[in-house]
A and B are shown apart, each in its own frame.
Chain A
């Protein structure tokens, strides 16, 4: 492996790993804020206990998201220094904004929320978690605006004197249509992740409560409402995902036709091509692909919103066009990964949707189901949105290859960079070493994360969280303990 391969693997592993945890943070923060709001609005302590319960799971997850996020900030310079030089005038600004507008708020107010239960007046304490919930979403916006520049560079111009891309319109960078829809898509995906998490965990606890006499009241007061809320959020998010994904797909057919052609294994330019559900191919070569199951009308609709009269460019023709425009080279992404990641992303969506519908049906009119399979189905559902999130990013990032900045068909054609040009000129062995360090560390932490989440889910809402702490304003010379989290 050369340094490019190792660096790409490292970026892929650290980024996909980071984004396992981040969607749960982004989606769960507003749900916990809503639970705490429900407690204060209704005075029902069930919502208080749910806030504490999911709050604890949220914090276990939050820690690892923060820890792996620092790597993201540093590795552009460490591993992709040529890229950083080429786009730094544009790409650094949204990252700095993310720090100034989102990270400071998020980290300060999460500390106030964790330790402030009995320190702050209740409404102020509630405001803290809402600020965290807004800040994590704002942070998603800036990082996706940065990523969308790589997918679809706007507001920029190549400066031949400095040999780099330069920012000419910051407003255009922030209102990049790719960024807006990718952000909404990522946020709805995060809400699906969190909704399925809340519903799955609560459904399992609800079913289990039938075996525990002392927990039966909890099932009615906490687990059933939480299952319903989680299911509704997941369903609404799934609708949002289809809608935002559809618009994003249409943009991608315009902006990155090669990515979409590979996602469809479309070798040659066709009019009204069929949407493929299953293909069999070898050697990552689109000519070898045998199309097993195809559906008509879907693909023309996905691309342009019409059922008929749509011509889509194929991989081979695009490759020829790119060679004419950008010189010799292979401009095709990995066909197998692009095709299957796209299908995994969509296919995995069906599981949380099915679970949410079943859970809503089985809890209708005050029912508290006791079927064990429902609890297990809830647990099985939880990982599926996580996998779909990863598949979605693998699709959009691998489908961008070999570009690190894809040339904008309607923008400055000189603003483009391939991964080969962007990578730092390190010794492959050193990057391989760091890849090993990160992979090992991340692997161990993932095991601990899973083990902790599992333990706290199995334990359920804890006894000592059953009474809300009264706010106690500090007095001078007050040597009372803080609310200890550590």
Chain B
């Protein structure tokens, strides 16, 4: 395996880490409001129970994306430059959403006031739904390709960004992440919130199978390679077993593992289908941006390889330890009063 191939693999792995970890963060953010409106108990404590399941970990999960982006810059600058400038508006919307989400999560508990929390919740909802949809759209755009000319400049029209395939991609990631979030909440809570998370997972199972299954099949048929059938097969089997376990209302730990496999297998399918392109050209395959014409020098790639191959195991180790430290389930009953300042005291 050459350095370019290694770096395609590593960037795919970083994006896989991002989708696997941040996927349930997005899902929890997407379901926070709906979960608070059903079932028994105070809606505010239910929201907080959901939010605190990702409390200690969401920030670090997001760094997988930042590192994936920076690694793409370092390893394939031509690809980074073309992809990021071509996807200007989707990325702008993703950034907008993620900014709202970060400040929404961090600032929500800083005021004990329903109106304040309403604004924070709106930020968390927008910041979770928007990226959850748009990452699917963005990956679909990348797989489908863009009109790239011989000089690696993109001549974009609206149809390249918005079409049936990219919209299906958006629905696929959004429904998948919502299911993933409900499984995670079932795993991390106890009591009524957990019961409702099972209900949500059951309601979501049909859309996920239709959208994610449809998108996976379309991707495989239109862009896939022979071996990516394996990834698609693994995704389908894992998805069906996760859904079955959620319908049976038990073994949410295994359901979670299955959903992890689904998201990981979808990432493998996407990047496997893309390989060795970073961004295929719809005008002429020779004009595609590949890992070969878009890469950094071997010297840079070697330094980067040493750094990431030694640091990533350490990073995975201490992140895993965080999940171990905060392994307890959360119940809405155990949520203490808000520690934010009330309106009066300002």
Contact = CB atoms under 8 A, between A and B. Distances in A.
Contact of A482 (B67, B106, B108, B328): B328
Contacts of B69: 73-74, 77
Given A92-B75, A108-B60, A482-B328, A455 B84 contact: no
A95 B110 CA distance: 32
Contacts of B72: 92
B329 A485 contact: no
Contacts of B106: 59-60, 62-63
Interface stretch (A98-106, A312-320, A399-407): A98-106
B315 A67 contact: no
Given A111-B56, A112-B322, A474-B328, A74 B95 contact: yes
Contacts of B65: 70
Contacts of B300: 89-90, 92-93, 166-167, 170
A66 B325 CA distance: 24
A115 interface: yes
Nearest to A120: B325
Contacts of B312: 100
Interface string B34-63: 000000000000001001100111111011
Interface string A443-486: 00100100010011011001010000000001000111110111
B318 A481 contact: no
A151 interface: no
A88 interface: yes
A110 B59 contact: yes
A81 B81 contact: yes
B315 A104 contact: yes
B70 A99 contact: yes
Contact of B89 (A74, A92, A430, A464): A430
Contact of A107 (B59, B75, B92): B59
B84 A78 contact: yes
Contacts of B102: 63, 66-67
Contact of A91 (B52, B73, B96): B73
Nearest to B55: A486
A330 interface: no
B73 A426 contact: no
A424 B65 CA distance: 23
A354 interface: no
A482 B56 contact: yes
A278 interface: no
B304 A96 contact: yes
Interface stretch (B248-256, B257-265, B269-277, B338-346): B338-346
Contact of A88 (B60, B74, B98, B108): B74
B189 to A, nearest CB: 10
Contacts of B328: 474, 478-480, 482
User: Interface size class for chain B?
Assistant: 35 or more
Interface of B is mostly: helix
Contacts of A478: 328
A85 interface: yes
Nearest to B331: A479
Interface in A300-350: none
A66 B59 contact: yes
B68 to A, nearest CB: 8
Interface in B267-322: 296-297, 299-300, 303-304, 307-308, 311-312, 315, 318-319, 322
Nearest to B50: A486
Nearest to B296: A89
Contact of B66 (A73, A91, A108, A481): A73
A99 B69 CA distance: 10
B336 interface: yes
A295 interface: no
B233 interface: no
B95 A71 contact: yes
A69 to B, nearest CB: 8
A481 B346 CA distance: 29
Given A85-B77, A95-B70, A107-B59, A426 B85 contact: yes
A170 B99 contact: no
A479 B58 CA distance: 21
A87 B327 CA distance: 44
Given A60-B110, A114-B56, A486-B108, A84 B95 contact: no
B327 to A, nearest CB: 7
Interface in A331-387: none
A202 interface: no
Contacts of A100: 67, 307-308, 311-312, 315
B55 A482 contact: yes
Contacts of B217: none
A89 B73 CA distance: 8
Contacts of A108: 59-60, 63, 315, 318-319, 322
Contacts of B331: 479, 481
B218 interface: no
A81 B85 contact: yes
Contacts of A189: none
A184 B148 CA distance: 44
A95 B84 CA distance: 16
Interface of A: 56, 59-60, 62-64, 66-71, 73-74, 76-79, 81-82, 84-85, 87-93, 95-101, 103-105, 107-112, 114-116, 119-120, 164, 166-168, 170, 424-426, 430, 434, 437, 441, 445, 448, 452, 455-456, 458-459, 462, 464, 474, 478-482, 484-486
5 contacts: A67-B98, A96-B71, A108-B59, A111-B55, A116-B56
Given A60-B106, A96-B71, A100-B315, 14 more contacts: A56-B110, A63-B107, A70-B95, A73-B66, A84-B73, A96-B74, A99-B70, A101-B311, A110-B59, A168-B299, A462-B339, A464-B339, A486-B52, A486-B108
The 7 closest A-B pairs by CB, nearest first: A88-B77, A77-B84, A92-B74, A63-B106, A99-B67, A92-B73, A81-B81
